[in-house]
Amino acid sequence: MTILQAKNLSLKYGNHYVFKNLSFKISQNDFLCIVGPNGSGKSTLLKCILGEIKPSSGEITFCKHPHTQHIGYLPQNPSINLNFPASAYEVVSMGALNQTRLFSPYPKAKIHTALKTLHIDNIAKQQFGTLSGGQRQRVLLARALVASTGFLVLDEPSNNLDYQAKKDFYKTLQNLNSRTTIVMVTHDLDHHNLIGNTILSLDPDFPFFGTTNEYVRKIHA
């Protein structure tokens, strides 16, 4: 089942095209990795998907998730002050703010499920700023999971993680993918680090949209 369809998507600033005539689709339980060099428009494309930027031409159509407030988003540089006295639980619960309506019950069960799913329920009471980089990233992923209804958008989530933390984090994402559609911007172009089933390359010298296996075959051809 198709969740999102992009047709002839272009975005430019003045006379400069960030990307041009992109067409791709995202199906339910896809894991799409967006790759490309710096300045190729990866983060900008995510903002188009999130509705923060309007494309210059073309369109993005949501077929299953009609409102972007149902997308869980993990930005590249989350704006959380590490000195702010918030526990891991409180940070995760922030994901419910865009779904909680006046007089509606607070989704405690969803928050606890996210904490348990990401194996951070044992650190729920710890201050966010005292956690390791890998633990903080899991907390922020749990926050995005609480905010979503099955669609996660991640902008270079493995930045600043060491090798083992990155490996563990990617394994977590692969486990989540069994019930969640994921779109992720990544710089990890080593084929051993390419996860997910689909690749969208914004590299102007090597544009590509297709399966990960096909992409690996082409870059090694």
Domain 1-69+185-221 has CATH 3.40.50.300: yes
> What pLDDT, in 10s, does the model give residues 159-198?
878 888 888 888 999 999 998 999 999 987 665 567 899 9
Residue 103 binned pLDDT confidence (cut-offs 50, 70, 90) = very low
Top-confidence residue, 51 or 107: 51
Look at residue 66 in the predicted model and tell me its pLDDT.
47
Look at residue 9 in the predicted model and tell me its pLDDT.
95
Which residues, at least 6 apart from 72, have a Cβ–Cβ distance to it below 8 Å?
Answer: 95, 143, 144, 145, 146, 147, 148, 151, 152, 153
User: How high does pLDDT run on average in the chain?
Assistant: 87
Asked whether residue 132 carries a pLDDT value surpassing 60, the answer given is: yes
Determine contact, residues 207/41, Cβ cutoff 8 Å: no
Domain ranges of the chain: 1-69+185-221
Asked whether residue 216 carries a pLDDT value surpassing 90, the answer given is: no
Look at residue 77 in the predicted model and tell me its pLDDT.
77
Residue 6 binned pLDDT confidence (cut-offs 50, 70, 90) = very high
- Where do we find the tokens 């031409």? 57
Hey, is 39 helix, strand or coil? coil
- Of 68-72, 143-147, 214-218, the range with the lowest mean pLDDT is 68-72
